[in-house]
Chains A and B, each alone.
Chain A
């Protein structure tokens, strides 16, 4: 199991489109991927779970993965969140 912390910076938070981008990346990996906010864990492969976390700008998240290629996916997710999803 590997876990990394990241703070969401994009003003729009994680609404439907960014949520879908996260889920789409996570689905490419065989391991379990989760986002944790205030102790509440959401499956990063489920759009509704990610949306349900209500992630806004400034939210501190833990990105957690367990299984094959866990390190790779955690780095990808953290980079996506840090880059603000390049949506603009």
Chain B
């Protein structure tokens, strides 16, 4: 799949972040690739200071820039445009629904620099754009796993193929939880502390269940059984029960699983006939929510026991 970001992608109506922009000139440059997630305000450049001109970034023209261009005497304006477009400018966006003059558009058409207009104000547009770009340029990884929203906690289920990840997800869906992706999860690091998981567009909300084949979860269980993306807050590893392995019996120590340098709370669940994994995962998700609120069941019980031992010793 083409992962490159091109100028034309800004004009796609992505339902998540709608930049509300339209193209007015420079159609020939729509296939230009955006390589850096930064922007530039070209005020100084237009005024003639061309040192450090970051022409390969997205140029944002706010009210100041448009007003400056408008008050220039026509001759100077021509010169300014000529100089400006002599660089390989990536693309220009005008905010506040301000249209640039015809000369500007003509130069843009000639040099194939897309010119777009947004109805939003500059600050709001920049913050949305940075958000949009950050997600695209975020580090990412694709994992063989299943992601389910369990009571609002994004649980990433890992395990060898055949251990029962999909069956477990199916039971969770049946219990009114929501499937994000099965078998292949795309994970992006939106922020230093935030991992977002989603399915690949091609497979969205389909699952393979041994014996049934491929099913469409959204069609079978309805729209409430799915969601498109979810923050990953817990990792659960399903493992074949191995009597030689010591499984966690106390839960006193919190284990972590590292994805893209972010530590996520991690549990290992041994799978054995008769063990109801979905219910264990539900409980783990609720326990995780409690821990986030500062309630740590295992540690609290341990503290109570220690206090009781202390008083008993004291009363001897």
- Report which residue of B1, B144, B202, B207 has the largest number of chain A beta carbons within 10 angstroms of its beta carbon: B144
Choose from B1, B142, B184 the contact partner of A48 (Cβ within 8 Å).
Answer: B184
**Is the Cβ of B214 less than 8 Å from the Cβ of A42?**
no
Segment at the interface with B among A4-12, A49-57, A74-82: A49-57
Overall SS of chain B's interface = loop
Smallest CB gap from A51: residue in B = B203
Interface residues of A in 45-88 (CB under 8 A from B): 45-49, 51-52, 54
* Residues of chain B lying within 8 A (CB to CB) of residue A54: 1, 200, 202
B 109-153 to A, binary, CB cutoff 8 A, 1 in contact else 0? 000000000000000000000000000000000101000000000
* Residues of chain A lying within 8 A (CB to CB) of residue B282: none
Question: Within 8 Å of chain A (Cβ to Cβ): is B12?
Answer: no
| Shortest distance between the CB of B143 and any CB in chain A (Å) | 9
**Is the Cβ of A41 less than 8 Å from the Cβ of B161?**
no
* Residues of chain B lying within 8 A (CB to CB) of residue A27: 162
**Is the Cβ of B208 less than 8 Å from the Cβ of A41?**
no
A-B residue pair count with CB separations less than 8 angstroms: 42
Question: Within 8 Å of chain B (Cβ to Cβ): is A43?
Answer: yes
Question: Within 8 Å of chain A (Cβ to Cβ): is B206?
Answer: yes
**Is the Cβ of B214 less than 8 Å from the Cβ of A46?**
no
Question: Within 8 Å of chain A (Cβ to Cβ): is B183?
Answer: yes
* Residues of chain A lying within 8 A (CB to CB) of residue B161: 43, 45-46
Interface residues of B in 3-29 (CB under 8 A from A): none
B 193-215 to A, binary, CB cutoff 8 A, 1 in contact else 0? 00000001011001110000010
Bound-state CA distance A54–B182 (Å) is 16
How many chain A residues touch the partner (CB < 8 A)?
14
Question: Within 8 Å of chain B (Cβ to Cβ): is A21?
Answer: no
**Is the Cβ of A46 less than 8 Å from the Cβ of B144?**
yes
| Shortest distance between the CB of A39 and any CB in chain B (Å) | 9
**Is the Cβ of B142 less than 8 Å from the Cβ of A41?**
yes
- Report which residue of B162, B184, B202, B206 has the largest number of chain A beta carbons within 10 angstroms of its beta carbon: B184
Question: Within 8 Å of chain B (Cβ to Cβ): is A2?
Answer: no
Bound-state CA distance A47–B166 (Å) is 12
**Is the Cβ of B183 less than 8 Å from the Cβ of A48?**
yes
Bound-state CA distance A4–B206 (Å) is 30
| Shortest distance between the CB of A18 and any CB in chain B (Å) | 14
A 1-26 to B, binary, CB cutoff 8 A, 1 in contact else 0? 00000000000000010000000000
* Residues of chain B lying within 8 A (CB to CB) of residue A52: 183-184, 200, 202-203
Smallest CB gap from A41: residue in B = B142
* Residues of chain B lying within 8 A (CB to CB) of residue A45: 161-162
**Is the Cβ of B1 less than 8 Å from the Cβ of A49?**
no
* Residues of chain A lying within 8 A (CB to CB) of residue B203: 48, 51-52
Interface pairs (6), CB distance under 8 Å: A41-B144, A43-B161, A48-B184, A48-B207, A49-B184, A51-B202
